[in-house]
Structure 1
Amino acid sequence: MDPDLALLLNGVVSGLLLGGLYAAAAAGLSISFGMLDVVNIAHPAFMVLGALIVALLWAATGLDPLLLSILLAPAFWALGAGLYVIYHHFFERRGDEAIQGLAFFFGVMFIVEVGLVLAVGPEQHFVDAAYAATTWRLGEIDVPLRMLVPATVALAAIGALALFLRHSFTGRAIAAVAQDRDALRLLAIDPIRIKRLAFGISLAFAGLAGGALVVVQPVDAWSGHVFIGRVFAIVIMGGLSSLGGCVLAALAFGVVENVTASFFGPSWSPAVAFGCLLLVLAVRPQGLFGRMA
């Protein structure tokens, strides 16, 4: 096989696997930002919090890190629900969710990051999962299980979330809460309770993404900064509240970044990826799967 073609195919495969990680990180934000209109800038910081907790628990128990992240999901849900109660009480119910609410989540982000530095130190943490050193070779294409397993678990979780949102009464209420709150009240549904539940799900996915992240790469307290721009770009490119669009945009983002890094160097990959975002928004301002207003 031509070396350039082999490099391209490996870049595409690795990019798709990287996109699975991006999808896990962006799915929770698609709920809070796209469906609830809550600009949680601290979302990647909670992902890092999940990654570091998983790393510590893995060192203590030896359990699979992805299993640990699933077991931690209820705790992250409770954390998200409690955080939304604070946000709603002090900002949303007074109509201050725009600038003041954004500043609130900036503060939360720095509190989480500084708290992690104080608790576990500034050094990097990594999980050596049982399958991390295994690579499947399909002809000239390498498929590292270190990336395949987290991507598969993440996409399966997103699929389960999509089924919940589409086919359950509560899921449909979550999808509708930002569009017509008064209509929910007419159906005797408390929109604040629905938003509290949904924000908890958003942070549960941040914890799940953290478990996937720490399998793929070393993580320190400041690692969330790398993902802030990426996850917001993916959610916007995918159409804000569309989980399918979020996944497609994440996969495309991962492929563009990885292929660019393979051929032109890693310094070019963010510029090209965000250039693609601008191109998509120029053609479809509502995103790939967004609906026209």
Structure 2
Amino acid sequence: MDLSFDLLGNAIVSGLLLGGFYAAVSIGVSISFGMLDIVNIAHPAFILLGSYTAYIANSTFGFDPILTSIVLLPAFYLLGVAIYAVYDLSFERRGDASIRGLAFFFGLLFITEVALILVFGVDYRLVAAPYIGPSLHLGVIELPLRLLVPAVVSLALIGALQVFMSRTFTGRAIQAVAQDPVALRLMAANPSRIKRIAFGLSIATCSVAGAVLIIIQPVEPSIAGDYIGRIFAICVMGGLSSFSGTVVAAMVLGVVESLTTTLYGPSWSPAVAFGFLLLTLAVRPAGLFGRG
């Protein structure tokens, strides 16, 4: 009985920590898909780009992957701004941002993955940091630092974004741009510029998400496809543009996956997790928190 309770408790805690990581990889899509209606299926590829930049800095210079990702936030932001500028000029201004826009991001996904394969090969890469091996113990509960540190960093990132969105004019404009661009113009804000900033922020999150990913597990270029379904499912379940909904949905998915892995084995984990997501959306089509 005690063993089962210990096992269950550790599985729930591990799932919550895993959910913190899922929130970090999903928050960028909550901005691009939830607020801008841009289906950026290349988002996981940019997360992997963040993983490999952290790997290069760590393996070459011994830099901490998380600190590296924070330093590189402006570079990833500028990358997102440049990508949106091309997308806006080529598709959105022509009113052709549906199928062809989706093909554009699919192409980016493919190009980024192939480029990473050409540069790094298909071998798994990992980083070294003092918090990757040890664990904290709270009674019978084990808190692996390789999950705890990424979860704390992820929630701090989302908290900073929430403050920016709610306390600044630009943040409130980002939330409004997809709802009423005409009213936004009356407030002397350029919708195209606001969208460019928002998309830049969505890609900037990939720097931190990539660092926490390579801390949690070794990476290789093709694993980007493993996260596409999870990321969009979490965003839809959380209510698309709701940051708090994204966090809750990510935590729920993490706990369901962890419990399934513990009780039935890892092969059942994706099927049960997505089955739970589909059931939730059948009951609440707008997601847990509705669209913000």
TM-score relative to the length of structure 1: 0.98
For 2:133 and 2:280, how far apart are their aligned partners in 1?
Answer: 37
Structure 1 residues 34 and 291, CA gap change in structure 2 (3 angstroms): closer
For 1:118 and 1:249, how far apart are their aligned partners in 2?
Answer: 35
Give the secondary-structure state (helix, strand or coil) at the position aligned to 1:115: helix
Q: Which residue of 2 aligns with 1:37?
A: 37
CA contact (8 A) 2:240 2:291 kept: no
Give, in angstroms, the shift of residue 291 of structure 1.
4.3
Give the secondary-structure state (helix, strand or coil) at the position aligned to 2:142: strand
Q: Deviations over 1:252-292 (max 9, x none)?
A: 10000011010001111111111111111111110001149
What is the one-letter code of the residue matched to 1:197? I
Structure 1 residues 188 and 56, CA gap change in structure 2 (3 angstroms): same
Give the secondary-structure state (helix, strand or coil) at the position aligned to 1:47: helix
For 1:127 and 1:164, how far apart are their aligned partners in 2?
Answer: 31
For 1:141 and 1:173, how far apart are their aligned partners in 2?
Answer: 43
For 1:160 and 1:291, how far apart are their aligned partners in 2?
Answer: 20
What is the one-letter code of the residue matched to 1:119? V
For 2:53 and 2:220, how far apart are their aligned partners in 1?
Answer: 11
Give, in angstroms, the shift of residue 226 of structure 1.
1.0
Structure 1 residues 123 and 291, CA gap change in structure 2 (3 angstroms): closer
CA contact (8 A) 2:125 2:219 kept: yes
For 2:238 and 2:291, how far apart are their aligned partners in 1?
Answer: 11
Say if 2:171 is the partner of 1:174: no
Give the secondary-structure state (helix, strand or coil) at the position aligned to 2:223: coil
Q: Which residue of 2 aligns with 1:65?
A: 65
Give the secondary-structure state (helix, strand or coil) at the position aligned to 2:218: coil
Q: Which residue of 2 aligns with 1:230?
A: 230
For 2:208 and 2:273, how far apart are their aligned partners in 1?
Answer: 24
For 1:268 and 1:125, how far apart are their aligned partners in 2?
Answer: 26
Give the secondary-structure state (helix, strand or coil) at the position aligned to 1:94: coil
Q: Which residue of 2 aligns with 1:242?
A: 242
Q: Which residue of 1 aligns with 2:280?
A: 280
Say if 2:79 is the partner of 1:90: no
Q: Which residue of 1 aligns with 2:213?
A: 213
Aligned positions of 1:78-227 closer than 5 A = 78-227=78-227
What is the one-letter code of the residue matched to 1:82? A
What is the one-letter code of the residue matched to 2:5? L
What is the one-letter code of the residue matched to 1:88? D
Q: Deviations over 1:167-226 (max 9, x none)?
A: 111000000000011111111110000000010000010121001001110001111111
For 1:124 and 1:199, how far apart are their aligned partners in 2?
Answer: 29
Give, in angstroms, the shift of residue 119 of structure 1.
1.2
For 2:155 and 2:291, how far apart are their aligned partners in 1?
Answer: 23
For 2:177 and 2:124, how far apart are their aligned partners in 1?
Answer: 39
For 1:197 and 1:51, how far apart are their aligned partners in 2?
Answer: 23
Q: Which residue of 2 aligns with 1:28?
A: 28
Q: Which residue of 2 aligns with 1:251?
A: 251
Q: Which residue of 1 aligns with 2:16?
A: 16
For 1:159 and 1:69, how far apart are their aligned partners in 2?
Answer: 17
For 1:203 and 1:47, how far apart are their aligned partners in 2?
Answer: 8
Give the secondary-structure state (helix, strand or coil) at the position aligned to 1:260: helix
What is the one-letter code of the residue matched to 1:126? L
Q: Which runs of 5+ in 2 are unaligned?
A: none
Give the secondary-structure state (helix, strand or coil) at the position aligned to 1:218: coil
TM-score relative to the length of structure 2: 0.98
Give the secondary-structure state (helix, strand or coil) at the position aligned to 2:72: helix
Give the secondary-structure state (helix, strand or coil) at the position aligned to 2:137: strand
For 2:237 and 2:119, how far apart are their aligned partners in 1?
Answer: 36
Runs of 4+ in structure 1 over 2 Å off: none
Give, in angstroms, the shift of residue 32 of structure 1.
0.2
Paired residue total: 292
Q: Which residue of 2 aligns with 1:3?
A: 3
What is the one-letter code of the residue matched to 1:237? M
For 2:61 and 2:168, how far apart are their aligned partners in 1?
Answer: 36
* CA RMSD of superposed structures (Å): 1.0
